[in-house]
Amino acid sequence: MALAAAAAAAGSLQPFLSRPACVLLRCGHRRLPPLLLRASSTSTSSAPDFNITFAEPAPSKPSSTDPSVEAVVPWIIRGEDGKPSMRTSPPPDVLQAIALAEAEAKKAKKDPRKSQKGALAIPASNVKVKEKKAAPAAPPKFSKAARRFYNENIREREPQRLAKVLAAAGVASRRTSEELIFQGKVTVNGSVCTSPQTKVDISKDSIYVNGNRISKKLPPKLYFAVNKPKGYICSCGEPKSVISLFDDYLKGWNKIQPGVPKPRFFTVGRLDVATSGLIIVTNDGEFAQKLAHPSSNITKEYVVTIDGAVHRNHLIAISEGTKIDGVKCVPDLVEPLDVQTNTKRTRLRIVVHEGRNHEVRELVQNAGLEVYALKRVRIGRFRLPADLGIGKFIELKQADIKSLEGNK
């Protein structure tokens, strides 16, 4: 009976013996002695016969790690000659696979979220992981108003020319400040200075003009858009000048800016006494020079009211341009506007970028027309507000100042 059972077991192992790999014969709960299998060659198509003999059980050695284990697990391995043999120790490739599995198990203990091959991954929700502290947020950027206040009041300024400092402090224009310096009416740190190019720092140096000390604080940069009335001039110090429109504003300056010297306003460019409309008033000399200089190529739009009829040849003559101070000036745009209901006079829109003195009037008169009224309505991209009354002004915001420097 035992031999028949062994033969049946050997027959069930035939599929494993036909493969070039090792086969592990596990005996379940029973501890059986190793089996020695020996195949006999046959030429028939029937299953091969096996001669099975039982070897004497080897004395079991207690395991150093688990003393309760006494059985020796047999390993049936096919050798290089193709014949199967039985061993009591696993082959090298199996040992290597076991070592790799143990290494993967150690990694899984360090990071339980990583899954192994053939093992179930532990969901991240069940694993307590130390959360990294969020990096501190960058400090918020300061607003434009805060940076402007810092630049004007706190930041150390580089030394500047004496004449420029006097003009910025509101003493007089730059040209008049140079005359005061040449006349010996200006002292710097107790010594008379006669050179307008002398570099000074108003926050550190002591500067006197005609015995009056210049404040170490400079007035803020201010920008205004004025709807100039007809009959006013752009020169400073005249009774009927554009700057005289700010008299009431400057009278209340000490209440608005206590302890800060009054600004000295001037116009950016000029409009002749008979021209009305948009003009910029500021105390920023560099800005005024940049905006008014012809090299800036900033466009300016005018509305010209013509006294008399306007024909096509007149428009062609205006668009061809004319010479002013030896320079050929050509307008960017010339077009007629709709006739207003309250007057029958023709109006023209003329856009120029040269900014020459009396340029628009010269263009119209050179075409054989007579100017009845002239009004400037736009500088750059800034247009005169329709609700701004004649002789009134508004303070410009930063967006308005930028629009002055750009073209449509």
Count the neighbouring beta carbons within 10 Å of the beta carbon of residue 173.
16
Task: Pinpoint the alpha helices (H) of 244-387.
Answer: 247-251, 253-256, 285-292, 312-320, 359-366
3-state class of 392 per DSSP? coil
272 is catalytic: yes
Token code pair at residue 133 = 């502290």
| SS3 category, 180 | helix
Query: What are the strands, taking DSSP E only, across 124-270?
Result: 160-161, 186-188, 191-192, 199-200, 207-209, 212-213, 223-228, 266-268
Cα Rg of the chain, angstroms: 51
Joined tokens for residue 176: 């008049």
Q: Return d(Cα 93, Cα 346) in angstroms, integer.
A: 105
Q: Which residue in 310, 292, 273, 264 sits closest to 354, CA to CA?
A: 292
Residue 181 CB-density burial (10 A; 0-12 exposed, 13-18 middle, 19+ buried): buried
Q: Which two tokens stand for residue 314?
A: 């007149």
Residue in 325, 336, 328, 402 with CA at minimum distance from that of residue 369: 336
Long-range contacts at 75-80 (CB < 8 A, ≥ 24 apart): 75/22, 75/23, 75/24, 75/25, 76/13, 76/16, 76/17, 76/22, 76/23, 76/24, 76/25, 76/37, 77/22, 77/23, 78/17, 78/19, 78/20, 78/21, 78/22
**Distance separating alpha carbons of residues 244 and 142, to the nearest angstrom:** 37
Calpha distance 43→104 (Å, rounded):
48
CA angle 355, 358, 178 (to 5 degrees): 70
- Helix or strand holding residue 172 (H, E): none
| Among 272, 338, 387, 400, the one annotated catalytic | 272
> Cα–Cα distances in Å, from 90 out to 87, 117, 218, 347?
7, 22, 93, 108
**Which residues are designated catalytic?**
272
